[in-house]
């Protein structure tokens, strides 16, 4: 049964709002300074004109800021607003029957048809006088006075001829005055208001470098420290990275400790896995003694900041059996029937050195509070970025709560979700607040796989909440493509990761040194993985890709087109092993076209079909492209051009597309 509404005179319908995530259950995401473009279907019964306003407010604001929405046709309306501060913003749409606008348009049509308008002018005078009353009530004395004068003119009290009264009725000044004080008693507002999570620029544009501090000692055979990492920051900064990500730096348990290649240690003196967190020296709020102390950590954070970098910490909510939590809060962990603690498992895999929290335990509230305190503990020590280990194995509601609590403390804190799991789970975590997310990029190696997957991430609704961070390798993943393709494969994947997404990262120095030996055939595990032992490398290896990586990151910083993902477009090229795509700024002041040879073994060449309209190019005029990797430049005309890439020499072109280059100075500016 349909009940009578509380107010049946509200006739406007608002639907089809865009952007919108899950009917408004989750926020869209933007960066400080972004413009939020909003569209909606707004209509009513009959032929009355409508007034439509876009409302928005920022963090801590009570009053709404109102801006216009313009009709696009077919009952579609559009408006926009800019977000200038970090935090949670809100927006909604408010609309009502525009009685004065309806009257004014009808009056114009009657006049153009030569029909009498005397009585209609009197009707309009009443509407203008009502607007004057609303202006007086709002304290807008000047508007009230002017509207009163116009009402007398339209009503004939001023003694003007009908033609002059008609002119005043249709004047833009009259329209603007009435619009400032509309009859919106029966307005409809889209409820509830929609949310925008606004984060700082590094959430959208960043380059991550992962390292194990214990492997960064200056001499072979020594255990590296945080101080050693600090001394080698110039090496990382020279490659252009702005986020230094450290796996867990906490004390490592001895129970079930793993040795080289994940073999049981059997009492051997081995360092163990950093993810087996907790020992007699402390847990998640302690630093492994062999890495240094809190002064060393503070010095590392400060030194990184002086170089334009941030330190990101691994947030791994799991424990060694030796963790103080196991003794102090035994109810936070699952037990076997014999009373022994249950170690972590992902059958058939077993992790004897790790135990998992029981998020369904009776004391779950205290568990949640303690884990939040881990985050705030490190935030108090200068950490504003966390890489979240396996978040898909913890409750969704926990993450939604924890991230909201952390951001209430500091809206600039960022979270990278490491959830290599099913797509809906990955997307759900992003909706709940994860700032960035690992992706399936590591396993997407063909032209079709890459183009379809990146189009999904950047060209659909997914882009409203999911920010991809592309990693060609991690300590857990050495893909077959890198195992078999040699340095050309590493070079190609670096170009793809750095240019397909505005956020990318590598696990180094394994990546720049092209380490490609797996633990065993058909395995993605590294042989002699740093997860279980200390490694020492020669960072000055002549074959290192550090130079190429530094070049890629400099290109990214210099070209705004590569600092976002919404403009990513793929272009046809007549070879299945060549992938071509472009990115541009909204005003097309910066445009980059990338062509990558996906075959690490053979040269490939083919005709490239450039979408000239997408790049704003005139088909009748030549244009210039400059390869940002090697400095070569070319003049092209028309949509088809030939490209050829030999992986032994160069895996890719990164072209800067230029319409007009009149001098060498112009060229240097563009490149």
Last residue of a domain, one of 541, 562, 583: 562
pLDDT per residue over 520-529, tens digit each?
Answer: 999 999 999 9
* 255 located within any domain: no
Rounded distance between C-alpha atoms, residue 245 and residue 240, angstroms: 14
Residue 139 burial (10 A CB sphere; 0-12, 13-18, 19+): exposed
Cα dihedral 265, 267, 273, 275 sign? positive
* 498 and 627 housed in the same domain: no
* 494 and 582 housed in the same domain: no
Q: Is the pLDDT of residue 57 over 80?
A: yes
Neighbours of 125 (CB within 10 A): 20
Reported in sequence order, the residue ranges of 32-86 that DSSP labels E, i.e. its strands, are 35-43, 50-57, 65-68, 70-73, 76-82
Task: Specify whether 418 is catalytic.
Answer: yes
* 324 located within any domain: no
Rounded distance between C-alpha atoms, residue 356 and residue 281, angstroms: 20
pLDDT in the model for residue 664 = 47
Q: Is the pLDDT of residue 644 over 50?
A: yes
Q: Is the pLDDT of residue 666 over 90?
A: no
Confidence bin at 668 (pLDDT 50/70/90): low
Q: Is the pLDDT of residue 132 over 50?
A: yes
Instruction: Give phi and psi for 294, each to the nearest 5.
Output: -70, -30
Last residue of a domain, one of 121, 153, 181: 181
* 545 and 572 housed in the same domain: no
566, 247 in Cβ contact below 8 A? Answer: no
Rounded distance between C-alpha atoms, residue 303 and residue 179, angstroms: 56
Question: From the candidates 98, 143, 199, 418, which is the catalytic residue?
Answer: 418
Predicted TM-score of the model (pTM): 0.94
* 189 and 177 housed in the same domain: no
Last residue of a domain, one of 533, 562, 591: 562
* 60 located within any domain: yes
Closest C-alpha among 594, 590, 591, 599 to residue 581: 594
* 195 and 88 housed in the same domain: yes
* 376 and 513 housed in the same domain: yes
* 236 located within any domain: yes
Identify the three-state secondary structure at position 326: helix
CATH assignment of the domain containing 581: 2.60.40.1180
Residue-level length of the chain: 671
103, 120 in Cβ contact below 8 A? Answer: yes
Identify the three-state secondary structure at position 377: helix
pLDDT per residue over 369-386, tens digit each?
Answer: 999 999 999 999 999 999
* 517 located within any domain: yes
* 229 and 376 housed in the same domain: yes
CATH assignment of the domain containing 158: 1.20.58
Summary count for the chain: helices (H), strands (E):
16, 29
Question: From the candidates 120, 168, 310, 389, which is the catalytic residue?
Answer: 389
CATH assignment of the domain containing 384: 3.20.20.80
Closest C-alpha among 666, 98, 88, 13 to residue 433: 88
User: Residue with structure tokens 């009709």?
Assistant: 71
594, 570 in Cβ contact below 8 A? Answer: no
175, 411 in Cβ contact below 8 A? Answer: no
Cα dihedral 262, 263, 264, 268 sign? negative
pLDDT per residue over 402-434, tens digit each?
Answer: 999 999 999 999 999 999 999 999 999 999 999
* 107 located within any domain: yes
* 400 and 423 housed in the same domain: yes
Closest C-alpha among 312, 302, 299 to residue 249: 312
Rounded distance between C-alpha atoms, residue 629 and residue 494, angstroms: 13
Residues 6+ apart with CB under 8 A from 459: 566, 568
* 490 and 593 housed in the same domain: no
* 193 and 307 housed in the same domain: no
* 63 located within any domain: yes
Distances in Å between the Cα of 529 and the Cα atoms of 262, 345, 536 are: 8, 20, 12
Q: Is the pLDDT of residue 101 over 90?
A: yes
CATH assignment of the domain containing 90: 2.60.40.10
pLDDT per residue over 238-293, tens digit each?
Answer: 999 999 999 999 999 999 999 999 999 988 899 999 999 999 999 999 999 999 99
Read off the pLDDT of each residue in 85-92 and give the average, rounded to a whole number. 98
* Tally of structural domains, the chain: 4
Rounded distance between C-alpha atoms, residue 473 and residue 451, angstroms: 20
* 175 and 232 housed in the same domain: no
User: Which residues form the domain of 142?
Assistant: 99-181
Residues 6+ apart with CB under 8 A from 567: 561, 582, 583, 584, 585, 586
* 479 and 614 housed in the same domain: no
Average pLDDT, the chain: 95
* 265 located within any domain: no
Task: Specify whether 389 is catalytic.
Answer: yes
């Amino acid at each position: 049964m349909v009940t009578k509404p509380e107010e049946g005179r509200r006739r406007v319908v608002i639907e089809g709002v865009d952007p919108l995530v899950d009917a408004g259950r989750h926020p869209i995401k933007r960066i400080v300074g972004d413009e939020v473009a909003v569209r909606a279907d707004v209509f009513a019964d009959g032929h009355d004109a409508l007034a439509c306003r876009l409302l928005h407010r920022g963090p801590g604001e009570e009053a709404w800021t109102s801006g216009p929405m313009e009709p696009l046709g077919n009952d579609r309306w559009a408006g926009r607003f800019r977000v200038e501060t970090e935090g949670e913003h809100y927006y909604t749409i408010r609309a009502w029957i525009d009685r004065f606008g309806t009257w004014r348009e009808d009056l114009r049509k009657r006049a153009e048809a030569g029909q009498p308008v005397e009585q209609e002018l009197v009707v309009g005078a009443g509407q203008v006088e009502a607007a004057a009353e609303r202006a007086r009530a709002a304290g807008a004395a000047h508007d009230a006075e002017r509207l009163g004068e116009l009402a007398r003119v339209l009503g004939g009290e001023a003694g003007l001829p009908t033609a002059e009264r008609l002119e005043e009725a249709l004047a833009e000044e009259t329209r603007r005055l009435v619009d400032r004080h509309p009859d919106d008693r029966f307005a409809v507002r889209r409820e509830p208001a929609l949310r925008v999570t606004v984060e700082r620029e590094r959430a959208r544009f960043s380059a991550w470098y992962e390292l194990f501090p214990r492997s960064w000692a200056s001499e072979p055979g020594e255990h590296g420290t945080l101080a050693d990492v600090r001394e080698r920051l110039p090496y990382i900064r020279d490659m252009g990275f702005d986020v230094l990500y450290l796996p867990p730096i906490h004390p490592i348990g001895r129970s079930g400790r793993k040795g080289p290649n994940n073999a049981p240690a059997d009492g051997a003196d081995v360092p163990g896995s950093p993810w087996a967190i907790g020992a007699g020296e402390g847990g998640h709020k302690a630093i492994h003694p062999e890495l240094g102390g809190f002064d060393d950590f503070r010095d590392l954070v400060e030194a990184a900041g002086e170089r334009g970098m941030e330190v990101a910490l691994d947030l791994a909510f799991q424990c060694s059996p030796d963790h103080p939590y196991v003794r102090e809060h035994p109810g936070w962990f699952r037990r076997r029937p014999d009373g022994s603690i249950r170690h972590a498992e992902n059958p058939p895999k077993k992790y004897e050195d790790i135990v998992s929290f029981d998020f369904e335990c009776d004391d779950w509230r205290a568990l949640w509070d303690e884990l939040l305190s881990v985050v705030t503990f490190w935030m108090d020590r200068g950490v504003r970025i966390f890489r979240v280990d396996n978040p898909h194995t913890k409750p969704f509601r926990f993450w939604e709560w924890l991230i909201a609590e952390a951001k209430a403390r500091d809206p600039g804190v960022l979270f990278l979700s490491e959830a290599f799991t099913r797509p809906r789970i990955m997307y759900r975590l992003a909706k709940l607040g994860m700032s960035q997310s690992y992706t399936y990029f590591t396993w997407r190696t063909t032209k079709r796989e890459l183009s379809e997957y990146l189009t999904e991430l950047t060209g659909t609704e997914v882009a409203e909440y999911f920010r991809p961070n592309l990693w060609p390798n991690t300590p857990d993943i050495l893909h077959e493509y890198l195992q078999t393709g040699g340095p050309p494969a590493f070079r190609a994947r670096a170009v793809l990761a750095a240019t397909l997404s505005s956020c990318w990262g590598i696990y180094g120095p394994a990546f720049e040194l092209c380490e490609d030996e797996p633990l065993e055939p058909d395995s993605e595990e590294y042989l002699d993985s740093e997860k279980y032992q200390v490694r020492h490398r020669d960072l000055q290896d002549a074959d290192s890709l550090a130079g190429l990586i530094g070049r890629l990151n400099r290109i990214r910083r210099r070209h705004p087109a590569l600092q976002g993902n919404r403009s990513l477009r793929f272009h046809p090229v007549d070879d299945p092993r060549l992938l071509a795509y472009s990115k541009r700024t909204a005003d097309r002041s910066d445009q980059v076209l990338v062509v990558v040879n996906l075959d690490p073994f053979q040269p490939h060449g083919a005709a490239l079909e450039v979408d000239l309209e997408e790049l704003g190019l005139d088909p009748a005029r030549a244009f210039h492209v400059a390869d940002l990797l090697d400095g070569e430049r070319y003049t092209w005309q028309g949509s088809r051009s030939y490209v050829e890439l030999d992986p032994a020499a160069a895996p890719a072109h990164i072209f800067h597309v230029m319409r007009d280059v009149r001098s060498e100075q112009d060229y240097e500016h563009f490149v």
